[in-house]
Structure 1
Amino acid sequence: MRTLTKWSVADYQHMRDFGILDHRRCELINGEIWDMTPEGEFHRFVNHRGVNYLREMVKGKAEVFEAHPITLAESEPEPDIAIVHRPDTRYLQHHPYPEDIYWLVEVADTTLAYDLDTKRKPYGEVGIAEYWVIDVAGKQMTVFRDLRNGDYAMQNTLSDGIVYPVDFPDVSVEVRQLVSIPE
């Protein structure tokens, strides 16, 4: 009988500390080490533009991290954008934990199914209140909210309009600022 070896977050962090994964672009999802797709120029552009916009929107209220790890019970993913509690010095000794996270954003140009399903599940299971996936090709964004039994009960896909983040109901995020790319 064959079984899949599941890695703990501590195992994964030790591998990183010892340099075993230095030449790999990967992340730990539910105990499995997944190779990450190389970031193309277009993905980087959409991601960076979104980070700049969201930093302006939550200025003085939250930190906005770009493509840095977060630590969950059985995962250490690297979401494209993480909106987390201030101050940034909270993260001198560890990556943000679920209780530090307001919401997460993934930018999907070649990873849409992975972001909508595989990455969504651990985020919901640990209680992250809100998760957005920007579909670059479709020029739309899917918003996941309303946690129930470890998953998001509400899924809304938008190509325009305003989204008010759950933890910041006074912040109006224009969907087009995140999904529309200048020609």
Structure 2
Amino acid sequence: MSQSALAYHWSRSEFVRAWEAGAFDHRVELVEGEIWPVVIGSWHGDTVGQLMALLPRDGAKVTTATLPTGQSLPDPDCWVRRSDAEPVGTIGTRLSVWNPADVLLVVEVSDITTIEDLNIKARLYGQAGYAVYWVVTQDGVYEHTEPTPTGYRTRVEHRPGEHVPVRYADATIAVDDLISSGQ
């Protein structure tokens, strides 16, 4: 008879203590009690750089910091907050907590984690109340809007040849400009 191992679920405070103590030898994030490795390949890295160069900054700050979300500590590839926003709290000694109304856009660049980004992370970010969430893939950009307690009410796919709206800046970015980097 075989017995399956029980998966350990980390609390946010346990994860932060281990992270601050340098217990992890590579970049990780805490998602719903599980530690997920953060894997960055060439296309992914090039696309994040291109995205950060293209996002409007007037009245906004673009960052790659961890974004505490409920009991999870995901590491979005980048996110945008109001430039005048102040943290509403801290976790541990290095992580700031932000008012969801100050978080203007959250972005995951998705190479091998598309299913998780479109489902688990969309639910996390929607539950947190972040207004807009993008998943950038090699095939296009999935834009999530209208956060709800279960995720997002609306998801629109923007394909090559189209533009994705940058709602906080009343602007657009060509999908081709986002997904062609590194290809």
The two structures have a TM-score, normalised by structure 2, of 0.82
1:20 corresponds to: 23
How far residue 154 of structure 1 moved from its aligned partner, in angstroms, is: 0.8
**SS of corresponding position for 1:60:** coil
> 1:96-149: CA deviations, max 9, x gaps?
43524111111111211121112211111111111101112x2x1111111233
Q: Which runs of 4+ in 1 moved over 4 A?
A: 87-93
**SS of corresponding position for 1:123:** helix
RMSD: 2.5
1:47 corresponds to: 48
Separation in 2, partners of 1:182, 1:34: 25
User: Which runs of 5 or more residues in structure 2 are unaligned?
Assistant: none
Of stretches 173-182 and 76-85 in structure 1, the one that deviates more from structure 2 is 173-182
Superposed counterparts of 1:1-183, under 5 Å? 3-21=6-24, 23-37=25-39, 39-54=40-55, 57=56, 59-66=57-64, 68-87=65-84, 90=87, 94-99=95-100, 100-136=102-138, 138=139, 140-159=140-159, 160-168=161-169, 170-181=170-181
User: Which runs of 5 or more residues in structure 1 are unaligned?
Assistant: none
- Percent identity, aligned pairs only? 24
Q: In the alignment, residue 104 of structure 1 is paired with which amino acid?
A: V
**SS of corresponding position for 1:95:** strand
User: For this pair of structures, how many residues does the alignment match?
Assistant: 174
Structure showing the higher strand proportion among its residues: 2
How far residue 7 of structure 1 moved from its aligned partner, in angstroms, is: 1.9
**SS of corresponding position for 1:164:** strand
The two structures have a TM-score, normalised by structure 1, of 0.82
